[in-house]
C-alpha cells in the first residue's frame, strides 16, 4: 500500500478555533496521544507568538517520542529583514526541532496588499527563507498559503513561488486552501497541475472547511497526487475549522486502501476524538462521522430489524474498526426489533414477549416525559426491574435540601440524606454551591463506606428539559444526567413535576448502574 503522511496541526491551527485555549499541559498530553497513534508530524505551535508556545518545544523534547516529528511553525522572513536576523525564523530554530513549517504567500493580491512588497521580492523572500532553514539541517515544509485562490487569479505567479522554493530545497509543498472556498473538482485540477510540474517533490494538502468540503477537498488532492495531508482532530480550527483527521484517516485507510496508521491505531480514533474534546472542554459532536456517538446509532425499527440479520444492511463499516460501537436507540418510535437488539447486545435475553412488554413500558414512560435515547443506563435498570432481577442497593428514608443566601450574596445549598444501606442507617449532610450537587454529594457520602467505588464517579453533564411548557411552573421536568468513571460514560433520566425529585431519580439510577457495572451485589 502507498503511504500517506499525516500532519496534525491541532496544537496550532486548532487552537485558533473560537473558545479554544490549550494549556501547556494540555498540549503536551495531546502530543503524547498523537505520537502513540503514530502520526507522522505534530505541529507544536507558533513559537514566536508567546512564551507558552516556546516552552512546549522545550518540554516535548524531554519525552523521547516514538516516531512522531515535532514541527516548528512560522512565517517566511519579513520584507525588511534578513534571514539571519528575522524573528520568526530564529524562533523556529530555537525550538530545536527537526522540521520547520514555513508559511509563504502565493496569491499576488496578498503580496501587494498585505505584505506590500513586489511580486519578485516575495519570491525572493520565500526562497531565501527555505534555503536558510535547509542550511541549518532542517526538513522544510512550505505551506503555500492561499494557493488555490492565488492559482485561480494568477496561475503563473503561484507556480513561480513554488518553483523558487523547490529550487531552494523545500521537502514538501503543502498547498493551502486557506479561505476554504474551493470545491473538490477545483482542488483536484489544481493539485494535478502542480503534481505534473513538480512531480519529484512531495505534495501536501491543507484545507479549511468554510464550504463543508475540507475532507472532500483533502481526498480530492490525494486522488491528484498529494501524499501529505494536514488537518486537526475533530476538525478544530478558525472560523468553521480545518479538515477533520478523524474522518480523513479512516477514509484513506478503509475506503481508499492507503497506508496511514496501523489497524490497531485506527481503532483508537474514537478515543482520541473524545479525549481532545474533553481537553478542549467541548461536548463531542455526536453526529461526527466514524467517531461520533451517533455514527452507528440506529433508531428506526426497520433498520434495526435488518441489522440483526446482517450488519452490512445499514452500516458502511464495522464500528469497531475505528474504536466505536453500535447503538440501538430506544424510544416511543422504536419497534420490537430495537428492544430485542438491545437485549441481545447486553446478553440479557432474546424473549420476544419480554421485548414487547418492555417496549410497551417504554412507550408508556415516554408518554409521561421519559426519554431513553441518552439514558441507556436507566433503560438497563428498567429491563432488570421488568425481568425481576433488580435489587436496590439502598432504601431512602428521607432527604432534605435548604438553600441560603448570605449577606454577601453567596448562595449555599445544604442536602441531608438518610438511607438504609446494608441494614444500617447512614445519615449524611453535604454542602455545595447548588442543590443538585449537594444532593449528589450527600448520596455518595452515604454509600462510600460500604461501596467505596462511588468515589470514582463524576457528573459531567446535567440537562433539564420542560416536557409540557404550557403548564408553566407546574410543568413536568425531565432531567438527564451524564456520569463517568475511569473507564465508562453513562446517562440516566428522571421525570417529575419537581426538578429536585427528577434529579434524585437520575442520580439514584446513575449510582446503581455504577455499582452493577462494577459487579457489586446488593446487601439484604
Give the separation between CA 97 and CA 92, rounded to whole angstroms: 8
- Confidence band of 496 (pLDDT split at 50, 70, 90): very high
Question: Is 290 a domain residue?
Answer: no
Please state the domain count of the chain: 3
User: In terms of C-beta distances under 8 Å and separation of at least 24 residues, what long-range contacts does 93-97 make, across chains too?
Assistant: 93/133, 93/136, 93/138, 94/47, 94/54, 94/57, 95/44, 95/47, 95/54, 95/57, 95/70, 96/57, 96/61, 97/44, 97/57, 97/69, 97/70, 97/71, 97/72, 97/138
Q: What is the mean pLDDT of residues 157-178?
A: 97
Question: Is 73 a domain residue?
Answer: yes
Distances (CA, A) of 23 to 39, 100, 269, 271: 21, 23, 22, 20
Whether residue 311 is found in the same domain as residue 267: no
CB 375 within 8 A of CB 480: yes
| 124 pLDDT above the threshold of 80 | yes
pLDDT reported for residue 254: 95
Cβ burial of 312 (10 Å; 0-12, 13-18, 19+) is exposed
Note the residue count of the chain: 524
Question: Is 373 a domain residue?
Answer: no
| 518 pLDDT above the threshold of 80 | yes
Which of 115, 104, 169 shows the shortest CA–CA distance to 143? 104
CA 39 to chain centre: 16
How are strands ordered across the β-sheet holding 395-405? 395-405, 411-421, 424-432
Q: What is the mean pLDDT of residues 297-304?
A: 65
| 1 pLDDT above the threshold of 70 | yes
pLDDT reported for residue 436: 92
- Confidence band of 466 (pLDDT split at 50, 70, 90): confident
User: How do residues 63-122 score in pLDDT, each as one tens digit?
Assistant: 888 899 999 999 999 999 999 999 999 999 999 999 999 999 999 999 999 989 999 999
Q: Choose from 64-68, 227-231, 290-294, 420-424 the range with maximum mean pLDDT.
A: 227-231
| 409 pLDDT above the threshold of 70 | yes
Question: Is 285 a domain residue?
Answer: no
User: Which structural domain range is residue 453 located in?
Assistant: 395-517
pLDDT reported for residue 337: 60
Q: Which residue has the higher pLDDT, 315 or 42?
A: 42
What CATH number is given to the structural domain containing 409?
3.30.160.270
Look at residue 464 and give its three-state secondary structure. strand
Whether residue 261 is found in the same domain as residue 302: no
User: How do residues 195-238 score in pLDDT, each as one tens digit?
Assistant: 999 989 999 999 999 999 999 999 999 999 999 999 999 999 99
What counts of helices (H) and strands (E) characterise the chain?
18, 16
Question: Is 377 a domain residue?
Answer: no
Tally Cβ neighbours within 10 Å of residue 115: 18
- Confidence band of 516 (pLDDT split at 50, 70, 90): very high
Whether residue 212 is found in the same domain as residue 120: yes
Whether residue 256 is found in the same domain as residue 357: no
- Confidence band of 387 (pLDDT split at 50, 70, 90): confident
188 half-sphere exposure, CB direction, 13 A CA radius: 9
Distances (CA, A) of 36 to 265, 269, 275, 362: 8, 11, 13, 43
Whether residue 275 is found in the same domain as residue 310: no
Domain boundary among 251, 279, 307: 279
Whether residue 200 is found in the same domain as residue 336: no
CB 26 within 8 A of CB 10: no
Whether residue 205 is found in the same domain as residue 317: no
Whether residue 29 is found in the same domain as residue 78: yes
Whether residue 215 is found in the same domain as residue 67: yes
| 333 pLDDT above the threshold of 60 | no
Question: Is 214 a domain residue?
Answer: yes
Question: Is 451 a domain residue?
Answer: yes
| 340 pLDDT above the threshold of 70 | no
Whether residue 231 is found in the same domain as residue 330: no
Residues 6+ away with beta carbon under 8 Å from 303 = 313, 314
What is the percent of the chain with per-residue pLDDT over 90, rounded to a whole number?
A: 62
Whether residue 69 is found in the same domain as residue 190: yes
Q: Which residue has the higher pLDDT, 486 or 257?
A: 257
Whether residue 42 is found in the same domain as residue 163: yes
Domain boundary among 215, 248, 279: 279
Question: Is 382 a domain residue?
Answer: no
What CATH number is given to the structural domain containing 193?
3.20.20.70
Q: Dig out the grid coordinates for 296 from the structure.
A: 452507528
pLDDT reported for residue 285: 84
Domain boundary among 339, 362, 385: 362
Amino acid at each position: 500500500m502507498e503511504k500517506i503522511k499525516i500532519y496534525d496541526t491541532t496544537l496550532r491551527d486548532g487552537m485558533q478555533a473560537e473558545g479554544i485555549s490549550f494549556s501547556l499541559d494540555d498540549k503536551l498530553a495531546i502530543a503524547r496521544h498523537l505520537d502513540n497513534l503514530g502520526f507522522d508530524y505534530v505541529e507544536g505551535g507558533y513559537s514566536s507568538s508567546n512564551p507558552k508556545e516556546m516552552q512546549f518545544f522545550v518540554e516535548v523534547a524531554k519525552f523521547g517520542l516514538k516516531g512522531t516529528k515535532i514541527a516548528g511553525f512560522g512565517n517566511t522572513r519579513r520584507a525588511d529583514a534578513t534571514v539571519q536576523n528575522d524573528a520568526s525564523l530564529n524562533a523556529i530554530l530555537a525550538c530545536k526541532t527537526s522540521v520547520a513549517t514555513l508559511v509563504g504567500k502565493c496569491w499576488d493580491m496578498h503580496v501587494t496588499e498585505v505584505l506590500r512588497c513586489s511580486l519578485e521580492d516575495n519570491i525572493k523572500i520565500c526562497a531565501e527563507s527555505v534555503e536558510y532553514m535547509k542550511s541549518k539541517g532542517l526538513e522544510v515544509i512550505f505551506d503555500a498559503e492561499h494557493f488555490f485562490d492565488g492559482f485561480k487569479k494568477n496561475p503563473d505567479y503561484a507556480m513561480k513561488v513554488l518553483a523558487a522554493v523547490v529550487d531552494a530545497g523545500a521537502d514538501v509543498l503543502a498547498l493551502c486552501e486557506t479561505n476554504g472556498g474551493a470545491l473538490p473538482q477545483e482542488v483536484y485540477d489544481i493539485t494535478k497541475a502542480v503534481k505534473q510540474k513538480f512531480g519529484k517533490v512531495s505534495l501536501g494538502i491543507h484545507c479549511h472547511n468554510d464550504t463543508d468540503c475540507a475532507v472532500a477537498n483533502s481526498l480530492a488532492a490525494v486522488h491528484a497526487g498529494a501524499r501529505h495531508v494536514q488537518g486537526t482532530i475533530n476538525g478544530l480550527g478558525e472560523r468553521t475549522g480545518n479538515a477533520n483527521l478523524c474522518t480523513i484517516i479512516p477514509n484513506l485507510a478503509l475506503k481508499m486502501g492507503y497506508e496511514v496508521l496501523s489497524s490497531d491505531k485506527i481503532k483508537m480514533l474514537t478515543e482520541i476524538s473524545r479525549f481532545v474534546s474533553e481537553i478542549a472542554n467541548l461536548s463531542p459532536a455526536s453526529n461526527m462521522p466514524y467517531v461520533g456517538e451517533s455514527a452507528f446509532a440506529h433508531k428506526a425499527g426497520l433498520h434495526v430489524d435488518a441489522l440483526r440479520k446482517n450488519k452490512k444492511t445499514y452500516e458502511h463499516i464495522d464500528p469497531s474498526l475505528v474504536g466505536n460501537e453500535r447503538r440501538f436507540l430506544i424510544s416511543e418510535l422504536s419497534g420490537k426489533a430495537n428492544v430485542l437488539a438491545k437485549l441481545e447486545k447486553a446478553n440479557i435475553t432474546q424473549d420476544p414477549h419480554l421485548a414487547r412488554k418492555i417496549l410497551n413500558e417504554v412507550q408508556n414512560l415516554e408518554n409521561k416525559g421519559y426519554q431513553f435515547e441518552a439514558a441507556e443506563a436507566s433503560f438497563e435498570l428498567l429491563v432488570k426491574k421488568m425481568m425481576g432481577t433488580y435489587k436496590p442497593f439502598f432504601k431512602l428514608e428521607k432527604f432534605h435540601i435548604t438553600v441560603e443566601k448570605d449577606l454577601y450574596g453567596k448562595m449555599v445549598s445544604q442536602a441531608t440524606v438518610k438511607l438504609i444501606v446494608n441494614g444500617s442507617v447512614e445519615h449524611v449532610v453535604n454542602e455545595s454551591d447548588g442543590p443538585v450537587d449537594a444532593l449528589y454529594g450527600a448520596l455518595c457520602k452515604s454509600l462510600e463506606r460500604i461501596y467505596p467505588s462511588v468515589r470514582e464517579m463524576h457528573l459531567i453533564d446535567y440537562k433539564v428539559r420542560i416536557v409540557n411548557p404550557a403548564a408553566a411552573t407546574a410543568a413536568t421536568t425531565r432531567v438527564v444526567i451524564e456520569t463517568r468513571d475511569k473507564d465508562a460514560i453513562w446517562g440516566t433520566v428522571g421525570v417529575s413535576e419537581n426538578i429536585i425529585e427528577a434529579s434524585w431519580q437520575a442520580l439514584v439510577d446513575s449510582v446503581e448502574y455504577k455499582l452493577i457495572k462494577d459487579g457489586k451485589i446488593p446487601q439484604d
